[in-house]
Chain A
Amino acid sequence: MIDLLVIGEGLSGLMAAYHAARAGLSVRVIGKGLGALHWDAGTIDLLGYLPGAHDSLRCPMKQLGLLDPAHPYHLLGEATLAAALAQFVALTAELGLPYSPAVVAGENSLLSSPLGAARPVFLAPAAQQGGDLGSSAPMVVVGFKGLRDFYPALIAENLNKLGYPARAAFLPYQLLSGRRDANTVHLAHELDAPARRAKLAAALKKLLEPGERIGLPAILGIDDHPAALVHLEQIVQAPIFEIPTLPPSVPGIRLVKSLRQHLLQLGVRVEAGMEAIGFETNGGNNIQWVETETSARPLKHRAKSYLLATGGILGGGFDSDHTGRVWEVVFDLPLTIPQQRSHWFRPQFLEATGQPVFRGGVPVNRRFQPVRPSGEPVYANLWAAGGTLAGADPIRERSLTGIAVATGFAAAQQIATSHALT
């Protein structure tokens, strides 16, 4: 029997698996499908906005005290949060996909969103750091005619409205691919080839004006990405950065790919296509196995401990019906989400304080164990992490990946401690 079964292969599940494996536990990760990182910008967003606030935060670590007491960051405490982020930075450096703060450590930087909005980011992969809006260097945002998921004119126009100097430029799509139509992942594979990059670089050099930096859609290679960026900059002789695209999102996929490869080296199998549909207890509060759906009979997965990392409404961790009842899909855990449809939303669509349905989730204690309203752990060997947790509104706060990295780390620590005690 393995020590830990992680259910969900998004960022929180993968991070928890990594830390648990590093602590010496035998771990397996299962997921219904691939995780939400595939449509994520690939940055670590710690905390961009406080509830009700219009302006983004500059120093998120100093503002944690203003969050709701039930917020996962409160449960973690500042020291654990800082340790989780430091470990993430160290890990990504080891993976060859280094993340770091854009300019000033401890502060959010502003990077362009795929629509040209300024998004507050705490840790960014190397390829996105050159897009820091705090720098005054003008940008040329380069798109490709016929590429569906990237709109440079819109980006430049919106950045200009915010006061950032930017212009749009276009290159022929044929520079990227001989294919009639391809998505961003296919194009990124094309740019793994040095010859293709050299052609692109030559064209970029021609349209560059003095002093400009170049913003490209996030397609600069997948398997050979770090080399691709260096290669392009060497030829063009100007700073180049990536702006995330509409899904599928290559920066998120790069992170998933390298994390999965690393987990495999640590002996952790990550299997997709396995949907958890049930579980069994020993009659008391110990989970004995979790069942996944197969082509015939359910498959039992036995582990000493279980981590729920299936995400929230977006990730598929919760389901609902027409009456407004919302439930957690694997263990039917208690939720803090309003169970009546009329209580899900406030009157305003873009309500600054967010919508109640998105702030709810699985309540946990300080050990990241799901609890009943009484505060008792629901199951003695169950933990939870990531988007499934109650007390945060991750999309509104821009804290989804920050919570995933931090709570994945914290839950794994707690699980490792509990195994050391028994």
Chain B
Amino acid sequence: MFTESWLSVGPSLDDCIKCNICSSYCPVAAVTDLFPGPKYVGPQAQRFRENGQPHSPDHSVDYCSGCRVCNEVCPTGVKIAELNARARAQIVADQGISLRNRLLGRNELLGKVGSIAPSLANFGLHNPVSRVLADKVMGIAKEAPLPHWSRNGTFGSWIKRTGDQRLRSDRKVVYYHGCATMYYEPFIGKAAVAVLEHNGFEVIVPPQNCCGLPMLSNGEFKAARNYHEGNIQKLTGYAREGLAIVGTSTSCTLTLKEEAPELLDMHSEEANTLKMAVWDIFEWLRELYQAGELRSDFHRIDMVLPYHAPCQYRAHRVGKPAMEILMLIPGIDLRESHARCCGIAGTYGYKVEKYQIGMDVGEELFGFVREQGDAVEMTACDSETCRWQLEHGTGLPSRHPIEILAAAYGLYDLEARALVGS
């Protein structure tokens, strides 16, 4: 069947000139024989997946981490990462999906369940016995940096509780927090709200659901479609009013903008209206800055700060706006990472057969952080799973740039990860 998305993604394989740039820069192919490289599993294997040939020639495409470095470096615009994601979905459709991958795709459900009794859930997940069990039975690597449920309530409960303290203003912005902020790191959302309000914006936090990315990357396209439809329903109204929808999770915003519509073939007027209203929070703050409207009442923060723009952030193709804003803060000696990927790639590095690949990929980044010397107390990175991997690989705490910015405004304590005065 020639669906619309087949037309947008599939034929791009004909633009492949076999230059091998993608294979040379692919961080996964650089460390393992199990992944023969983007050119092979992407445009080349795609020739065997066309109509009437639904099966992928082999399973090596499962070792693509989806980091999209191949798309970034391709000189002719082949949509390699999308070809791979579709091929994975085809394998899942043909052969079903493991319980593990089904679970890893259900970030939101896990978040909700664990948040009922977070201490119990944290103990249940993080004690050595259950990690070994999860490793042996489920295939979730026992060393992998899984998150902890927030013990101080969810972001949703905080926003409800503090509703009467929120700024009211004619200038409004919608905040998409995503699952990680909701259930694991509500302080990221608090920092974002504080920064937006400090700049005079009323923050609207509407009901929303998971962006569906974990399912997309585990090949569960059908379930991901439900999620995207849910978000279209819940959020497009704000987009129609002309409000910007900003997010602190780079992979969520990328999914709302591009991944979900493209991979799921959802190009309705509503989906497009939503796409065009979504911003990564720093992409949006940079617009504010360029218009001369970003407040610059920064406190000095003296520190050496290695910053890694995650691959899902670079996949937005908007440059590195978080870095541009952080560089405005006096005292910060920002060191830019040019590492390709931290290795975690969403849920990739959690899987027992891929954990070590993820760590080997991440070594480029961990090594970069080590090279910055002993003065480094923390790193910065926009994506939650990448931060957890960075902490795992370097032993240093990692912060979202929005936490750093909130701290520079004097609103946030970087050590306690809490709003000042709360």
Contacts and interface: CB of A to CB of B under 8 A. Distances in A.
Interface of A: 31-36, 38-39, 179-181, 183, 185-186, 189, 247-248, 253, 269, 271-275, 292-297, 299, 315-316
Contacts of A253: 24
Contact of A34 (B21, B37, B258): B21
Given A181-B36, A292-B317, A295-B258, A275 B77 contact: yes
Given A248-B21, A296-B276, A299-B319, A33 B73 contact: yes
A274 B317 contact: yes
Contacts of B62: none
B275 interface: yes
B130 interface: no
B421 to A, nearest CB: 36
Contact of B73 (A181, A273, A294, A297): A273
Given A274-B319, A296-B258, A316-B75, 14 more contacts: A32-B75, A33-B72, A33-B77, A35-B75, A36-B75, A179-B33, A180-B33, A183-B37, A273-B73, A293-B317, A294-B317, A295-B315, A297-B276, A316-B76
Contacts of A292: 317
A39 B74 CA distance: 13
B21 A299 contact: no
B30 A33 contact: no
A299 B75 contact: no
Nearest to A315: B75
Interface string B6-23: 000000000000111101
Given A183-B20, A273-B72, A294 B77 contact: no
B33 A296 contact: no
Interface residues of B, number: 32
Contacts of B20: 38-39, 183, 185, 247-248
B122 interface: no
B316 interface: yes
A293 B21 CA distance: 21
Contacts of B23: 183, 185, 248
B137 interface: no
Interface of B: 18-21, 23-25, 29-30, 33, 36-37, 71-77, 254, 257-258, 275-276, 278-279, 314-319
Nearest to B338: A264
A311 B73 CA distance: 16
Contacts of A180: 33
A380 to B, nearest CB: 24
Contacts of A39: 19-21
Contacts of A36: 75
Q: Secondary structure of the A side of the interface?
A: loop
B316 A33 contact: no
User: Which 4 A-B pairs rank lowest in CB-CB distance, beginning with the nearest?
Assistant: A33-B75, A273-B72, A185-B24, A295-B258
A295 B47 CA distance: 26
Contacts of A248: 19-21, 23-24
Contact of B254 (A179, A247, A274, A295): A295
Nearest to A1: B290
Contacts of A38: 19-21, 24, 75
A33 B258 contact: no
Contact of A271 (B18, B19, B33, B319): B319
A142 B317 CA distance: 43
A32 B20 CA distance: 16
Nearest to A292: B317
A299 B317 CA distance: 9
Which of A31, A179, A189, A293: most chain B Cβ within 10 A?
Answer: A179
A293 B77 CA distance: 11
A297 B75 CA distance: 21
B257 A295 contact: yes
Nearest to B32: A179
A33 B21 CA distance: 9
B266 to A, nearest CB: 14
A274 B71 CA distance: 10
A297 B24 CA distance: 30
A358 B314 CA distance: 35
Nearest to B40: A181
Nearest to A311: B75
A296 B75 contact: no
B54 to A, nearest CB: 27
Given A183-B24, A253-B24, A299 B318 contact: yes
B81 to A, nearest CB: 11
A34 B75 contact: yes
A36 B24 CA distance: 14
Contacts of A275: 77
Contacts of B25: 34
A34 B75 CA distance: 5
B28 to A, nearest CB: 12
B317 A33 contact: no
A392 B21 CA distance: 27
5 contacts: A34-B75, A183-B24, A253-B24, A273-B314, A296-B278
Nearest to A296: B257
A295 B276 contact: no
Contacts of B279: 296
Nearest to B255: A295
Nearest to B23: A183
A21 to B, nearest CB: 17
Nearest to A269: B319
Contacts of A35: 75
A239 B3 CA distance: 59
Contacts of B76: 32-33, 316
